[in-house]
Structure 1
Amino acid sequence: MQTNLADFIRNTPDGDEADGILRNCVHCGFCTATCPTYQILGDELDGPRGRIYLIKQMVEGAPVTRSTQIHLDRCLTCRNCETTCPSGVQYGRLVEIGRKITEEKVTRPFSQRLVRRMLASFVPNSALFTPTMRIGQHFRPLLPKKLRDKVPARQRPLEWPTAKHPRKMLMLAGCVQPSMMPNVNIATARVFDALGVEMLIAPDAGCCGAIRLHLGYNDEALDDLRANIDAWWPYVEQGVEAIVMNASGCGATVKEYAHLLRHDPAYAEKARRVVELTRDVAEILPEFEEALISVTRRRSVHTVAFHPPCTLQHGQQIRGKVEHLLTALGVEVRLPADNHLCCGSAGTYSLTQPKLSYALRDQKLERLQAQEPQVIVSANVGCIAHLQSGTSTPVAHWIELVEHMLSV
């Protein structure tokens, strides 16, 4: 695809990147076949190829309209199209550049600006989010259904392991997971403890940056990145083996730190090192498969349906590892039809695009429940909460299932 960048973006980092990505696109249209929003809406402009054309027009100086912004807003950033694309188009990075341009050139309706500002200020701030979530969970039975869907039932926390081990890894606790689903982090620590690895958490690390980044608050998102690097760096210098991610959405974002901070002389090299160390829990545990088999035993849950989050299978390109590991532990894992499609959670998408989000959730649940599982398992806190809001079948993180199987 040929481009002729406009003066406002020519010879800028975003312009150079957008130009390179656009030139890789051969507009074959394979991406439309796997785009969730195109499947539902049937509009070319609500698929990757159409959005790429819109972004191309923007960077070439065409007027940026509210209509363009709406089509970009509807994108889930699931990156399924990247997995499908035969030309290796980095659509996820391109759409973020496009969104940045629309935020600069289009004034949103006041109600949208207010909601997005509130989300960007509230959700990543655990000092605000945690007590609010606790209140919501206390009064959950009294909440209206739409609000109750956003408030998972409170978990009874497991006990954090206290043993010290020579082998140490660092884990990102996350901004919402400790209050919404604390047992995901605790289960992760307990599983690694059983394998002789001590899990550490840097108390000053917070949101991975994804929330503000995808809402268009780029400068604030970069501050989140820098704050995490500062919090992790002493542990990196002390030689932790890995920075473990058990929320695939966070993992996909942290693995972009080197790219996002590539022009920051104070953080570029540190960000590169952080990315080298960052691994999803599904990348690490297969290395412990034999040891894990020896410390687990089959329990009451023996059949699960697995929903691989987009941020795991498309964002991080991790496929098959969870299924293989659970199978090795004696669990029958069933994948639903069209398991490559998004469940509709996508961070704050269920709040900013509820109609599309819930349509995708119901579609996903229909296919998951067709597998007749005892439990639905996934790998991202947002997906788990979103799916659980539409079904009585238990939905959990797969690492919680592994912890449940521990015999030590």
Structure 2
Amino acid sequence: MQTSILADILSTPDGQEADRILRACTHCGFCTATCPTYQLLGDERDSPRGRIYLIKQVLEGAEPTRATQTHLDRCLTCRACETTCPSGVEYGRLADIGRDLVDRQVRRGPAERFMRWGLRRFMAYRRRFALLLAIGRLARPLMPTVLKAKIPPRQTAGNWPDTAGATRTMLVLDGCVQPATAPRTNAAAARVLARLGIRLVRVSEAGCCGALPQHLSARDEALAFARRNVDAWWPYIEAGAEAIVVTASGCGAQLAEYAHLLRNDPDYADKAVRITELVRDLGDILADEDLTGFRHLGAGQPVAYHPPCTLQNAPGLQDRVAGVLKAAGFTLTPIRDKHICCGSAGTYSILQPTMANQLRDDKLTNLQAGQPAVIVTANIGCQLHLATAAAVPVRHWIELLDG
């Protein structure tokens, strides 16, 4: 499409990128077929095509309104639209630019500003979030039912394996929310990889991947997290670490963007390219290994695998989890509409609870239709969100291989 972006915006890196993305869009509407919010609401402004037009108007000088902001807020950033776009429009990147631009012009109410500030200041920091969760668990008996469901029970991680004889080394991102809510995930990954002769290393200096502030229009914060992680991992990469393993695909999608996010930073651009090259989902790692020793685990147990949007749609990640589970003997139940988001989407389930819960309930109907013994997924956000209303346990899939 043709654009007439304001000169002062077009002179910036964001403006140039937005112009490039917009010019690729033909407004064909194929994206509407895979957009969860458009399927639920039927409003063109809640579709990728409609949001692209709203962002284009603001870039060209139209004054955004609270309604503009609301339609952009309702976007899950699931990026399913990108998979059906014949022109390769990078909608996810444009959405971040558009939200940031609108948020700088449309002031939110005090309660909303406080909520978004609190999410950035507590959820993105491992120790702060762990303390907040501990307080929530103490107060859980006094909470209404709807809030009780959002407090996950305590989980024992188990021992981190002794890998003194390992011949290969990989790094793992601990992240911010997962260590407190599901500490067993990375520990289980370490134990499984140890059986394959791989040492999994946690680097305490690494923290939030930056996805949370990135999607809350705090992009400078996101870049600061990215630089911190690059600095933390670089000595290990120079020492020969062969991969950065992600067990939360939402974080993996953000790490895979580091080369793009830091492309204009002369001190970090080259290192960020290397980080992006090393990022791999845990399922992708195991799919290339000899899993003979794990074949007895499944014994035909019916499992519903929920592939997160970030693993399905984010460039740079490969979803090979289903093949790994089948190789271990598990029977995967059939699931309708796998491409539709579960409604978690980072902080979306907190900021847009009505839409998120409707998507969750629809997803659970499809996941549980095959009567699985357990639901598994590859992202902590999906895991926690689905668990609030599931009739069967919801776990990270690596726990099944941990035995």
TM category (shorter chain) comes to over 0.9
Report the CA distance between 1:382 and its aligned residue.
Answer: 0.5
Q: 2:381 is matched with which residue? A: 382
Report the CA distance between 1:147 and its aligned residue.
Answer: 2.2
Distance 2:52 2:338 in 1: 25
Q: Give a deviation string over 1:256-298, Cα, whole Å, max 9, x none.
A: 001011111111111111111111112111111xx22224523
Q: 2:173 is matched with which residue? A: 172
Unpaired runs of 5+ in structure 1?
A: none
Q: 2:113 is matched with which residue? A: 113
Report the CA distance between 1:351 and its aligned residue.
Answer: 0.8
Question: Are 1:36 and 2:36 an aligned pair?
Answer: yes
2:207 maps to amino acid: G
Distance 1:277 1:182 in 2: 23
Aligned residues with identical type, % of pairs: 54
Q: 1:267 is matched with which residue? A: 268
**Following superposition of structure 1 onto structure 2, how do residues 194-209 of structure 1 map, counting pairs within 5 Å?**
194-209=195-210
Q: 1:370 is matched with which residue? A: 369
Distance 1:141 1:336 in 2: 35
- Helix, strand or coil at the partner of 2:280: strand
Distance 2:138 2:287 in 1: 38
**Following superposition of structure 1 onto structure 2, how do residues 15-34 of structure 1 map, counting pairs within 5 Å?**
15-34=15-34
**Following superposition of structure 1 onto structure 2, how do residues 284-299 of structure 1 map, counting pairs within 5 Å?**
284-288=285-289, 291-299=290-298
Q: 1:339 is matched with which residue? A: 338
RMSD between superposed Cα atoms in Å: 1.3
Q: 2:395 is matched with which residue? A: 396
Q: 2:145 is matched with which residue? A: 145
Decide whether the 8 Å contact of 2:308 with 2:382 is kept in 1.
yes
Distance 2:101 2:255 in 1: 23
Question: Are 1:220 and 2:221 an aligned pair?
Answer: yes
Distance 1:199 1:317 in 2: 21
Report the CA distance between 1:11 and its aligned residue.
Answer: 1.9
Report the CA distance between 1:317 and its aligned residue.
Answer: 6.5
1:125 maps to amino acid: Y
Decide whether the 8 Å contact of 2:256 with 2:316 is kept in 1.
no
Decide whether the 8 Å contact of 1:149 with 1:386 is kept in 2.
no
Report the CA distance between 1:300 and its aligned residue.
Answer: 6.4
After alignment, is 93-102 or 129-138 more displaced? Answer: 129-138
Decide whether the 8 Å contact of 2:284 with 2:319 is kept in 1.
no
1:401 maps to amino acid: L
Report the CA distance between 1:5 and its aligned residue.
Answer: 0.9
1:306 maps to amino acid: Y
Distance 2:108 2:24 in 1: 31
- Helix, strand or coil at the partner of 1:88: coil
Decide whether the 8 Å contact of 1:160 with 1:186 is kept in 2.
yes
Decide whether the 8 Å contact of 1:301 with 1:375 is kept in 2.
no
TM-score, length of structure 1 as denominator length: 0.96
Decide whether the 8 Å contact of 1:4 with 1:60 is kept in 2.
yes
Q: 1:82 is matched with which residue? A: 82
TM-score, length of structure 2 as denominator length: 0.97
- Helix, strand or coil at the partner of 2:158: coil
Decide whether the 8 Å contact of 1:301 with 1:374 is kept in 2.
no
1:84 maps to amino acid: T
1:362 maps to amino acid: D
- Structure 1 residues 178, 66: CA separation in 2 closer, same or farther (over 3 Å shift)? same
Report the CA distance between 1:301 and its aligned residue.
Answer: 6.8
Q: Give a deviation string over 1:381-401, Cα, whole Å, max 9, x none.
A: 010000010113011111111
Q: 1:235 is matched with which residue? A: 236
